[in-house]
Structure 1
Amino acid sequence: MRSMDQSPGSPPEHTKGYRALVVDDEVPLAEVVASYLEREQFEVVVSDAGANAIAVARELDPDVVILDIGLPGMDGFEVCRQLRTFSDAYVVMLTARDTELDTVLGLTVGADDYITKPFSPRELVARIRAMLRRPRILQTASHDSGQEATPPRRFGALSIDVAARAVHIGEEPILLTRTEFDILEALSGRPGVVLSRRQLLEIVRDGPWVGNEHLVDVHIGHLRRKIGDDAARPRYIATIRGVGYRMGSGQ
């Protein structure tokens, strides 16, 4: 395992204090990824095995996990499944095959993004920065502004507390991944407005999206199952065929 190298100079504010776990049995590649993240002042730990990565994640409580699918023994899909039982870290999956099946499987077990090998470490870091930017802005707004927190957004039984990043159905808390919450926040902040898949992805990632826009459908599917919404008779999230999604009235 490897921890963050202290480097001179002022750390970038947008990544200062974040923790990253890099999981890949290709040690040279993992070290390259770690070095790029360390330049951004991430605290970085590297693991080359799935079972070890689970134990490290429990101790480290990372903000982001860069996870290779093709690990020996416990593969990346199983690692991600187990991570999701105790962590809401962003998960970026690394795959040697650019196949829709790998992508869908990764998202189904709770990954937030994927990137195909070979890849540019700079592109990977840019994606990670974009994912982390929104939660950091929300934390700053809720803790440092000195203003009273805005009331939760309510859609029938569904309550969304943006400042606390908390979702409830009635009194029952609903555990969402960070990407699932960000999509729900984007939709609930614009009730009645239809957002295309690309618009949703670009709002969530805070920048242009290059990739398969239909990845958002998998996240929407997870959201609906967790909040008890039926796509055929939606109370909360309506599908607008050929366009995208709209937050319903909740009635």
Structure 2
Amino acid sequence: MSSSAPPAVRVLLVEDDDLMRRSFTVALERYGYAVKAAPDGLTGLELFRDESFDLLILDVLLPGLDGIGLCRRVRETSLVPVLMMSARGDGLDVVAGLEAGADDYVVKPVDTYVLVARIRSLLRRATYAPHPAPGSATQEGRTLVFGDLTIDTAGMEVTLDGSPVALTPTELKLLLEFAARPGVVLERHTLLRDVWEYGWDGDSRVVDLCVQRLRRKLGRDRIETVRGFGYKLRP
């Protein structure tokens, strides 16, 4: 099989089930990813601190340090894309993982092509090149200004009242979608399609929780909820 990913793309997989860890590793390596695997959260944290990775795949239920706790530790120092794996897709694990800073999740058992599709989507977000449309924001080159919020779309930097704001690739892409159409209500299924690249009706919780994280970083009144429809950025 020809490689579908450049060798430079390094993935840290943390999965305690030996069979799943081996099968995921082999499958991802066939797609060209360089995979380093860990059987528990503490080993995964040690690898993360010692080496550089482009993406993390974390199982929720891990011995020692679970995937949610590991994600929180990662987010203390890094904005690297994080994909959570959960055996309970409709449980609290998904919400807890997303609240901890994960960008997306998949439910086990998961087909390899689905896992690779989610990885590719996350990596595209990490290298997203926006093309914001004219709106009510002041545009200076490729800089958008919304009061004390400034978005440099060329440098991919966000500042609030002059101070830099650290956003994950998913949070940044979501903000850019809002900033491209300030004052326009964006429905959840539209955001799932444009940000998470779901080609079908996905789980709207990923949108809601990512909006909550943006509000914590930018201010609760920055993004308005339009009940029954979606969200909009206050211009």
TM-score, with structure 1 as normaliser: 0.83
Q: Tell me whether 1:85 sits opposite 2:82 in the alignment.
A: no
CA distance in structure 1 between the aligned counterparts of 2:98 and 2:192, rounded to whole angstroms: 14
Q: In the alignment, which of 170, 176, 192 is matched to residue 167 of structure 2?
A: 176
Any stretches of 5+ residues in structure 1 without a counterpart?
1-7, 142-148
Alpha-carbon offset, residue 172 of structure 1: 0.7
Q: In the alignment, which of 54, 73, 92 is matched to residue 63 of structure 1?
A: 54
Runs of 4+ in 1 over 6 A off after TM superposition: none
Q: Tell me whether 1:95 sits opposite 2:81 in the alignment.
A: no
Per-residue deviation, residues 34-83 of structure 1 (Å, max 9, x unmatched): 22222222221111121111121123322211101111111111101101
Alpha-carbon offset, residue 184 of structure 1: 0.5
Q: Tell me whether 1:242 sits opposite 2:233 in the alignment.
A: no
Any stretches of 5+ residues in structure 2 without a counterpart?
132-139
Q: In the alignment, which of 30, 33, 46 is matched to residue 21 of structure 2?
A: 30
Q: Report how many residues are paired.
A: 227
Moved more, 170-179 or 91-100: 91-100
**Equivalence for 1:5:** none
Q: What secondary structure, in the 3-state scheme, does the structure 1 residue paired with 2:195 have?
A: helix
CA distance in structure 2 between the aligned counterparts of 1:22 and 1:208, rounded to whole angstroms: 25
Per-residue deviation, residues 74-101 of structure 1 (Å, max 9, x unmatched): 1111101101011111111111222331
Moved more, 158-167 or 74-83: 158-167
Q: Tell me whether 1:127 sits opposite 2:83 in the alignment.
A: no
Alpha-carbon offset, residue 165 of structure 1: 2.2
Change (3 A) 1:123 1:210: farther
CA distance in structure 1 between the aligned counterparts of 2:56 and 2:200, rounded to whole angstroms: 20
Matches within 5 A, 1:152-231: 152-227=143-218, 229-230=219-220
CA distance in structure 2 between the aligned counterparts of 1:214 and 1:206, rounded to whole angstroms: 15
The answer (yes or no) to whether the contact 1:88–1:177 under 8 Å persists in 2 is yes
Identity among equivalent positions (%) equals 37
TM-score, with structure 2 as normaliser: 0.88
CA distance in structure 2 between the aligned counterparts of 1:60 and 1:165, rounded to whole angstroms: 24
Alpha-carbon offset, residue 237 of structure 1: 1.3
Moved more, 54-63 or 120-129: 54-63
Moved more, 208-217 or 16-25: 208-217
The answer (yes or no) to whether the contact 2:189–2:202 under 8 Å persists in 1 is no
The answer (yes or no) to whether the contact 2:125–2:170 under 8 Å persists in 1 is no
